[in-house]
Amino acid sequence: MTSRERVQKMFRGELKNSFAISIGGMANDNMSAYAYANLLKYLGMEEKPIKIYDLFQFIPLMDVEVIDRLGGDFVHAQRPRYRFNLDQKEWRPGTLHDGTPCYYPAEFQPIRTEDGSLYVEMDGERYARMPKGGLYFDIIRHPLEDAEEVEDLRLVHPAVRMSDEDIEYTANQIEDLYQNTDKAVVLLFAGQLIEQAQRDFGFEEFYCKLAIEKELMHAYFQMVTDAYLHNLEGILSRAGEKLDVIWFCDDIGTQQTLQISVPMYKEMIKPYEKQMWDYIHQNYPHIRILFHCCGAIFDVIPELIDAGVDLLNPVQISAKGMDPERLKETYGKDIIFWGGGTDTQNLANLTTVEEVEEHARHLLEIFSKGGNYVFSQIHNFQADVPPEKIVAIFDQAKKYREKLEAGEV
Amino acid sequence: MMKLLHEISEELELGHAVQVKKKVLAAIEEGTSPDQILKEGLLRGLDHIGKQFRESEVGIPEVLLAARAMNTGIRVLKPFYDKTKEPRGKICVGTVQGDIHDIGKNLVKLMMECQGFQIIDLGNDVAPERFVEASQEHHCTLICCSALLSTTMNELKAVIKAFEKAGLRQQVKIMIGGAPVTQQFCEKIGADCYTEDAMEASQYAVLYDEGEK
């Protein structure tokens, strides 16, 4: 059984004594470029290029051979202007902070200032900043910060609506992965409403407007949704038959609670997600909606299911109320959990490989019960996670799956 | 009087900044002490909304609107407050080096200002040595540092090291906080205090100021 066959079987509800595995199959079960560089060395695969496609999370395109070595069943395609509206059809050589050779999108030409900070410019203005010694860029300019009227929304970020050329490029990537791998194919689509609005309006402005400028925010969300639907129609009409999963993401949770209340989610966000997810389910019923949402989201999961989510990631078990057994018992019949396999937030506290293996095995027992599960760690491994821990986690998952399939557990 | 304080609290919960301003002024007019307006009006409202947030009954939008209303209330109250009360001490606050997230830090600052502290806001991406310099420059003995990322939380330790290096560790109390930070981490790096949220941070600062910590 190939990876793709396994995944499709699971989606049809026919995979009861097994589960799928994902590492580098989408943008939240990957790892920092630094951790990846160490992993390549550890696996003796130093010749593999480190292409940093997600400049915000600083994560690489994971090589199919590496995915295969770790047991991953998924690969992903993504739009060419994935971050900061920078085209990544072409790559240029560069280095990580520690001098490790890597590749960046050719258009990524950050400016270093006297204080050691790096800036990314967009439309001739500074848009994101990485402070000296930092590992991540943060957005510092919000084009809709002062928007008051619906008319002001015309300034909305251009990357939301894809060009025909970019749509074509994305569809070709899907085709390529479909033809040249036996993995299930994920499209990194994102389709963000909340996070796009946070970037466009700024965090505080966005949240306040959500409560007091509802008409403006409805107009904004509809505008963004229309652009996303345009992008989806373009990509899926060309390559929809070759796709298995579309990845969406938006953070509704915090470590302790929800960012917005359930009634506000239902009123302000859900209708727009539903438009996108209904479109996909109605026209491409074989495709599953994967939704990435960190944090303490237990109470909003029924609404997400109702809106059309089929797979939920990252299953942040360290957040309040996200007990693995309670999650599986309450929602396991209605949704496939993708994640929850290793608590990366507390990984540093597990000092030996044996402790890491035991931790993963315990979570595998809970989440793989009755099938319907995609094993992955909870969110991307950070820069300092050693490769032996990463390999141990995924070797444990493969071993557990073999036992499960053989009826030994 | 109690009715007005109750209304201030309710309007604050609803994020009605204009109403908060009007009612705070009306309470002053009635002769209510600024301290009472702060504690039984404004802070009570903020406390209520904080509890609702923890229970997921409301979200960040409602909390931010309440915080804005709080800010308005404090601005109105401050001139009257200054006349009646000795200000508390100074506190240096900042987000550690390599980290430019400051929403949490700003909430802590606001809550501490409400308690009458003078805040030396060092901003974000603050080098460990800068905390030391600022504490000497402003004669601050309470240092409050925040880190949002698991990759920058080790900078909290660097702040402690910088005070040790300067021979000033025993003269200051170092408070830490931020999403990935825990009590366990606080103990591990030898910080003096971890607080879970802005309210708790300001309460610790008051106890420290009153010599109870």
**Size of chain B, expressed as the number of residues it contains:** 213
Query: Phi and psi of A192, rounded to 5°?
Result: -75, 135
Which of B23, B57, B84 terminates a domain? The answer is B84
**Probe site for chain B from A59, A137, A204, A268 (most B CB atoms < 10 A):** A204
Structural domain range at position A9: 3-33+62-85+142-405
**Whether the predicted pLDDT of B86 surpasses 70:** no
Question: A210 contacts in B (CB within 8 Å)?
Answer: 61
CA A391/CA A44 separation, integer angstroms: 13
More confident residue, A265 or B98: A265
- Give residue-wise pLDDT tens across range A65-92: 999 999 999 999 999 998 888 999 999 9
Find, in chain B, the residue whose alpha carbon is nearest to that of A134: B98
- Give residue-wise pLDDT tens across range B118-127: 999 999 989 9
Three-class DSSP labels, B148-174: CCCCCCHHHHHHHHHHHHCCCHHHCEE
Q: What is the pLDDT of residue A216?
A: 97
Which of B34, B69, B84 terminates a domain? The answer is B84
Same domain, B149 and B99: yes
Q: What is the pLDDT of residue A256?
A: 85
The number of beta carbons lying within 10 Å of the beta carbon of residue A77 is: 23
Domain count, chain B: 2
Domain assignment of residue A122, yes or no: no
**Whether the predicted pLDDT of A159 surpasses 80:** no
**Whether the predicted pLDDT of B36 surpasses 70:** yes
Average pLDDT on B142-164 reads: 92
Q: What is the ipTM of this complex?
A: 0.84
- The CATH number of residue A237's host domain is 3.20.20.210
State how far the alpha carbon of A270 is from the alpha carbons of A92, A305, B128, in Å: 40, 11, 44
- Nearest-CA neighbor of A77 among A180, A159, A189, A160? A189
Give the pLDDT band (50/70/90) at residue B34: confident
Question: B152 contacts in A (CB within 8 Å)?
Answer: 134
Rg (CA), chain A: 21
Domain assignment of residue A128, yes or no: no
Question: A261 contacts in B (CB within 8 Å)?
Answer: 56-59, 62
Instruction: Decide: helix, strand or coil at residue B92.
Output: strand
Give the pLDDT band (50/70/90) at residue B82: low
Same domain, B99 and B202: yes
Domain count, chain A: 1
- On average, the pLDDT of chain A sits at 95
Structural domain range at position B150: 90-209
Find, in chain A, the residue whose alpha carbon is nearest to that of B152: A134
Taking the Cβ of residue A256 and every Cβ of chain B, the question of whether any pair is shorter than 8 Å is answered with: yes
Q: What is the pLDDT of residue A264?
A: 97
Question: A296 contacts in B (CB within 8 Å)?
Answer: 56
Q: What is the pLDDT of residue A249?
A: 97
**Probe site for chain B from A57, A141, A260, A378 (most B CB atoms < 10 A):** A260
**Whether the predicted pLDDT of B151 surpasses 80:** no
Q: What is the pLDDT of residue B110?
A: 79
Give the pLDDT band (50/70/90) at residue A133: confident
CA B103/CA A206 separation, integer angstroms: 13
- Nearest-CA neighbor of A366 among A318, A400, A391? A400
**Probe site for chain A from B60, B103, B157 (most A CB atoms < 10 A):** B60
Q: What is the pLDDT of residue A349?
A: 73
Q: What is the pLDDT of residue B84?
A: 60
Q: What is the pLDDT of residue B157?
A: 96
Min Cα distance A207 → chain B (Å) is: 4
Same domain, B29 and B75: yes
- Helices and strands: H and E segment counts in chain B: 10, 5
- Picking from B59, B68, B125, the nearest residue to A261 by CB comes out as B59
Domain assignment of residue A125, yes or no: no
Q: What is the pLDDT of residue B18?
A: 96
Domain assignment of residue A107, yes or no: no
Min Cα distance B84 → chain A (Å) is: 33
- Nearest-CA neighbor of A79 among A195, A179, A171? A171
CA A94/CA A105 separation, integer angstroms: 10
Give the pLDDT band (50/70/90) at residue A32: very high
- Picking from A208, A299, A345, the nearest residue to B180 by CB comes out as A345
Looking from the CA of A218 toward its CB, the CA atoms found within 13 Å total: 9
% residues pLDDT > 90 (chain A): 87
The number of beta carbons lying within 10 Å of the beta carbon of residue A204 is: 18
Domain assignment of residue A340, yes or no: yes
- The CATH number of residue B170's host domain is 3.40.50.280
- The identity of residue B145, as a single letter, is C
% residues pLDDT > 70 (chain A): 100
Give Dmax over CA atoms of chain A in angstroms. 63
**Whether the predicted pLDDT of B155 surpasses 90:** yes
- Give residue-wise pLDDT tens across range A86-112: 999 999 999 998 999 999 999 999 999
Same domain, B46 and B123: no
Q: What is the pLDDT of residue A123?
A: 80
pTM given for the model: 0.86
- Give residue-wise pLDDT tens across range B39-70: 899 989 988 988 898 788 999 899 889 988 98
Q: What is the pLDDT of residue A106?
A: 95
Lowest-pLDDT range, A4-13, A63-72, B179-188? Answer: B179-188
Q: What is the pLDDT of residue B8?
A: 97
**Whether the predicted pLDDT of A391 surpasses 80:** yes
Find, in chain B, the residue whose alpha carbon is nearest to that of A203: B103
CA A84/CA A282 separation, integer angstroms: 32
Same domain, B37 and B129: no
- The CATH number of residue B62's host domain is 1.10.1240.10
Question: A260 contacts in B (CB within 8 Å)?
Answer: 59-61
Q: What is the pLDDT of residue A91?
A: 97
Give the pLDDT band (50/70/90) at residue B139: very high
Find, in chain B, the residue whose alpha carbon is nearest to that of A118: B98
- Give residue-wise pLDDT tens across range A167-223: 999 999 999 999 999 999 999 999 999 999 999 999 889 999 999 999 999 999 999
Q: What is the pLDDT of residue A364?
A: 97
Q: What is the pLDDT of residue A227?
A: 96
More confident residue, B1 or B160: B160
- On average, the pLDDT of chain B sits at 90
CA B38/CA B20 separation, integer angstroms: 11
Which of B35, B50, B84 terminates a domain? The answer is B84
Taking the Cβ of residue A30 and every Cβ of chain B, the question of whether any pair is shorter than 8 Å is answered with: no
Give the pLDDT band (50/70/90) at residue B211: confident
A-B Cβ pairs (cutoff 8 Å, strict): 74
Rg (CA), chain B: 18
Q: What is the pLDDT of residue B85?
A: 58
- Give residue-wise pLDDT tens across range A1-10: 999 999 999 9
Question: B122 contacts in A (CB within 8 Å)?
Answer: none
Give the pLDDT band (50/70/90) at residue A43: very high
**Whether the predicted pLDDT of B158 surpasses 90:** yes
**Whether the predicted pLDDT of B160 surpasses 70:** yes
Taking the Cβ of residue A270 and every Cβ of chain B, the question of whether any pair is shorter than 8 Å is answered with: no
Same domain, B95 and B80: no
Same domain, B156 and B188: yes
Min Cα distance A163 → chain B (Å) is: 33
Same domain, B109 and B180: yes
Question: B57 contacts in A (CB within 8 Å)?
Answer: 261
- Give residue-wise pLDDT tens across range A260-309: 999 999 999 999 999 999 999 999 999 999 999 999 999 999 999 999 99
Same domain, B49 and B101: no
Same domain, B19 and B69: yes
CA A98/CA A96 separation, integer angstroms: 5
Question: B101 contacts in A (CB within 8 Å)?
Answer: 138
Domain assignment of residue A104, yes or no: no
Three-class DSSP labels, chain A: CCHHHHHHHHHCCCCCCCCEECCCCCCCCCECHHHHHHHHHHCCCCCCCCEEEECCCCEECCCHHHHHHHCCCEEEEECCCCCCCCCCCCEEEEECCCCCEEEEECCCCCEECCCCCEEEEECCEEEEEECCCCCCCEECCCCCCCCCCHHHHHHCCHHHCCCHHHHHHHHHHHHHHHHHCCCEEEEEEECCCHHHHHHHHCHHHHHHHHHHCHHHHHHHHHHHHHHHHHHHHHHHHHHHHHCCEEEEECCCECCCCECCCHHHHHHHHHHHHHHHHHHHHHHCCCCEEEEECCCCCHHHHHHHHHHCCCEEECCCCCCCCCCHHHHHHHHCCCCEEECCCCCHHHHHHCCCHHHHHHHHHHHHHHHCCCCCEEECCCCCECCCCCHHHHHHHHHHHHHHHHHHHCCCC
User: Does the distance separating the beta carbons of A211 and B65 come in below 8 Å?
Assistant: yes
- Give residue-wise pLDDT tens across range A314-337: 999 999 999 999 999 999 999 999
User: Does the distance separating the beta carbons of B180 and A134 come in below 8 Å?
Assistant: no
